[in-house]
Structure 1
C-alpha cells in the first residue's frame, strides 16, 4: 500500500522516491491527478537536478483543448516498494502522478486537510 495526505489546498499528495542518475533515491511530493493519463510529470528544474535520461518528444491535448509538445524522459521510481522504469513528461507545473502509474490500484482519498490518501493494489487486503 502507498499512503499520502491531503494538503491545505485539498490536493492529494503522494511522496515518491525517484532514483537519481548517481543511484541515490530522491523523495519528492507529487499531486495525484486523475485527469492526467500519463505516468508522472516533473518540472524542468527537477528533471535537470535528477539528471534524467531524455527519450523522445511527446504530444498531448490539454483540458482546454489546446495541444502541447513536451520532452519525455526516463526515470526509475520506487513504487509500492518495487523499482520500476517509467516515462516522465516535462511540464511547467508541480509534480503530478498520473493514472498510468496508478493502474491496478484503488485510490481512496479522505477529502479534508490532513486526510489520508491510500493506493492499494487491487486484489490485496
Structure 2
C-alpha cells in the first residue's frame, strides 16, 4: 500500500517510481485522475527520455478536458507498492502532470478519507 496526499485543490497525489529502459528508478508525483480510463499518461518528451518503447504507428484518440486529443502509445515500466508493472502508457504533448488512471482501481484499493487526511492506494 502506498500513501498519498491531498494537494491544496483536493487532488489525489501519489508518488510512484518510473523505471527507465536503463533500469534507473525515478520517483515522481502523479495525479490520480478519475476521468482518465487508462493506466498512465505522461508527456511524450518524458516518455522518450525514459527510453520507453514507442509502439510504432499506434495512437489513441481520447476525449480530454480540452477536447479530443491524439496520444502516442508507449510500453512503460512502473514500480507501485513494491511491485513492478509493464503497462501501456499514453504520451501526449504539453501534459502538465503525470496522470494515474482509474484502471489501477481494478487491481488496487483506493481509500480517500478527506476529514482524516488519509489517502492510500494498495
TM-score, normalization: structure 1?
A: 0.82
Label 1:45 to 1:115 Cα distance change in 2 as closer, same or farther (>3 A): farther
Tell me the residue number matched to 2:86. Answer: 85
Tell me the residue number matched to 2:69. Answer: 68
Deviations 1:52-95 (A, max 9, x none): 1101211212356x432110111111122111100111132311
Aligned length: 118
Tell me the residue number matched to 1:123. Answer: none
Contact 2:44 2:72 (C-alpha < 8 Å) held by counterparts: no
Of Structure 1 and Structure 2, the greater strand share is in: 2
SS at match of 1:100: helix
TM-score, normalization: structure 2?
A: 0.84
Task: Name structure 1 gaps, 5 residues minimum.
Answer: 121-125
Q: CA RMSD in A?
A: 2.0
Matched, 1:59 2:82: no
Segments of 4+ moved more than 2 angstroms: 61-64
Tell me the residue number matched to 2:23. Answer: 23
Task: Name structure 2 gaps, 5 residues minimum.
Answer: none
CA distance in 2, matches of 1:62, 1:5: 24
Task: Kindly report which structure 2 residues correspond to 1:84-103, keeping only aligned pairs within 5 A, or say none.
Answer: 84-91=85-92, 92-103=95-106
Structure 1 residue 31, shift from structure 2 partner: 0.3
Structure 1 residue 35, shift from structure 2 partner: 0.9
